[in-house]
């Protein structure tokens, strides 16, 4: 079996015209008025559909010096926040005739590999989400003519548009809220990253504000799988001096905490308060509904627009999009105490 991708030349032969004519018909727009007679136009289109012709991307991109593709780089799947983001970006990109592919990094190694791919022009633009890329690495991408938008609170770089959130401030408020309500043994589940973790920083700062000491045994690295999370929390709740509140880096972990608490016979919020992060829709239908911290808006259209805008106009000044996060009070923290 031979791969028989028809070429422009074959279409031209089939239609009995030159390749340039075919190209004109297909690409339409060209400088000034390149009109094609309706007759040849039809013949060309006929030939195209007969052969099932479709232009070769590599050739087109080589010639045009652009891929008409965007790449969203995610650390991993399974995060609702990312899923919404991908949907919105894909929708907006589509309107602007860009295709979207997703690359998964996961490990630092894989991250480097994706960086390579991008350097080699996998796409014209990148939306890098929460990765561990350094400013230097990102700037190298920009230097090779790739538009970069970064969703990250810690990293930034020249020529890179950034989407930042006020999440750390919201985390701080959340912890303070727990402390105000009288909770004292607050467990904090953080996510390991290369840089600093906003959750942890907010946690420490809040304890400081209330002049409370840090208990290291309450600072817990979030396990990978949900089941492992459940087991870790269960263990935590069964120990001698159990925490009276749990602050987590994700709503999924928080919901898991709700399950673990129920199974351990603890009442939420009276025996145990829980605060999540991310404000996923599930949080509204747990019982009690989940008090959480999350973005005030989940519309990522503007992020996509910003990326595409830079693509069209690479020399414009760098921009920062600030997204408000807020404490969303529902039912998993007690009001009295």
Partner DNA sequence: TTGTAGGCGTTATCAG
Partner DNA sequence: CTGATAACGCCTACAA
E-strand ranges in the chain read 69-74, 99-104, 125-129, 147-151, 161-165, 186-190, 219-221, 245-247, 273-277, 291-295, 320-323, 325-328
Residue partners of 64: CB distance under 8 A and separation at least 6: none
CA distances to 106, 119, 238 from 113, rounded to whole Å, are: 11, 10, 43
Secondary structure of residue 137 in the 3-state scheme: helix
Minimum CB separation of residue 263 from a copy of itself in Å reads 5
Q: Do 249 and 277 touch, CB atoms closer than 8 A?
A: yes
Tokens of 62: 């080589």
User: What is the C-alpha separation between 260 and 279, in angstroms, rounded?
Assistant: 20
Question: For tokens 């929708």, what's the residue?
Answer: 91
The reply to whether 121 sits near a copy of itself by the rule CB under 8 A is yes
The reply to whether 4 sits near DNA by the rule CB under 7 A is no
Among 1, 2, 33, 136, binds DNA (CB under 7 A): 33
Tokens of 110: 């894989």
Among 9, 158, 196, 227, binds DNA (CB under 7 A): 9
The reply to whether 34 sits near DNA by the rule CB under 7 A is yes
Q: Between residues 96 and 121, which has the closer beta carbon with respect to DNA?
A: 121
The reply to whether 37 sits near DNA by the rule CB under 7 A is yes
Q: Between residues 146 and 174, which has the closer beta carbon with respect to a copy of itself?
A: 146
Backbone φ and ψ of 285, nearest 5°: -115, 10
Q: Between residues 56 and 180, which has the closer beta carbon with respect to DNA?
A: 56
- Residue 94 contacts which entry, DNA, a copy of itself, none (Cβ below 5-8 A, type-dependent): a copy of itself
The reply to whether 18 sits near DNA by the rule CB under 7 A is yes
Minimum CB separation of residue 104 from DNA in Å reads 25
The reply to whether 7 sits near DNA by the rule CB under 7 A is yes
Residue 67: closest CA among 119, 113, 2, 134: 119
Q: Between residues 67 and 250, which has the closer beta carbon with respect to a copy of itself?
A: 67
For residue 331, the Cα-to-chain-centroid distance in whole angstroms is 28
Judged by CB under 8 A, the chain residues 78 through 97 that form the site for a copy of itself are 78, 80, 82-83, 86-87, 90, 94
The reply to whether 45 sits near DNA by the rule CB under 7 A is no
User: What is the C-alpha separation between 203 and 206, in angstroms, rounded?
Assistant: 5
The reply to whether 117 sits near a copy of itself by the rule CB under 8 A is yes
Minimum CB separation of residue 287 from a copy of itself in Å reads 5
Minimum CB separation of residue 172 from a copy of itself in Å reads 28
The length of the chain, given as a count of residues: 337
Residue 247: closest CA among 291, 304, 309: 291
Q: Do 291 and 276 touch, CB atoms closer than 8 A?
A: yes
Q: Given the rule CB under 8 A, which residues bind a copy of itself? A: 1-5, 52, 54-62, 65, 67, 71, 76-78, 80, 82-83, 86-87, 90, 94, 99-104, 106, 110, 113, 116-117, 119-122, 140, 143-146, 159, 225-227, 230, 256, 259-260, 262-263, 281-282, 284-287, 314-315
Q: Given the rule CB under 7 A, which residues bind DNA? A: 5, 7-9, 16-21, 23-24, 26-27, 30-31, 33-37, 39-41, 53, 55-56, 59-60, 62-65
């Amino acid at each position: 079996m031979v791969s028989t991708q028809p070429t422009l030349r074959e279409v031209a032969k089939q239609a009995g015209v030159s390749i340039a004519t075919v190209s004109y018909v297909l690409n339409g727009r060209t400088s000034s008025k390149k009109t094609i007679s309706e007759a040849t136009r039809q013949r060309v289109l006929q030939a195209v559909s007969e052969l099932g012709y479709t232009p070769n991307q590599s050739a087109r991109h080589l010639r045009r010096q652009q891929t008409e593709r965007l790449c969203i780089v995610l650390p991993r799947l399974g995060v609702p926040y990312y899923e919404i983001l991908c949907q919105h970006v894909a929708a907006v990109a589509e309107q602007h005739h860009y295709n979207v592919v997703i690359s998964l990094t996961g490990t630092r190694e894989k991250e480097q590999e994706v960086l390579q791919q991008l350097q080699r022009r996998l796409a014209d633009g990148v939306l890098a989400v929460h990765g561990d890329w350094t400013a230097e690495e990102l700037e190298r991408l920009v230097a090779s003519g790739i538009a970069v938008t970064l969703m990250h609170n810690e990293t930034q770089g020249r020529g890179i548009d950034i989407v930042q959130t006020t999440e750390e401030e919201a985390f701080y408020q959340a912890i303070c809220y727990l402390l105000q309500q009288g909770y004292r043994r607050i467990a904090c589940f953080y996510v390991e990253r290369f840089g600093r973790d906003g959750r942890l920083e907010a946690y420490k700062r809040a304890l400081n504000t209330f002049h409370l000491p840090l208990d290291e045994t309450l600072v817990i690295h979030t396990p990978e799988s949900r089941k492992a999370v459940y087991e870790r929390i269960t263990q935590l709740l069964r120990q001698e001096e159990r925490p009276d509140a749990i602050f987590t880096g994700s709503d999924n972990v928080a919901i898991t905490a709700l399950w673990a608490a129920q199974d351990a016979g603890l009442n939420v919020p009276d025996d145990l308060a829980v605060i999540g992060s991310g404000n996923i829709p599930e949080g509204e239908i747990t019982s009690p509904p989940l008090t959480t911290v999350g973005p005030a808006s989940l519309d990522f259209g503007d992020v996509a627009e910003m990326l595409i805008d830079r693509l069209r106009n690479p020399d414009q000044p760098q921009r920062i999009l600030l997204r408000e996060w807020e404490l969303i009070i529902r039912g998993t923290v007690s009001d009295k105490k």
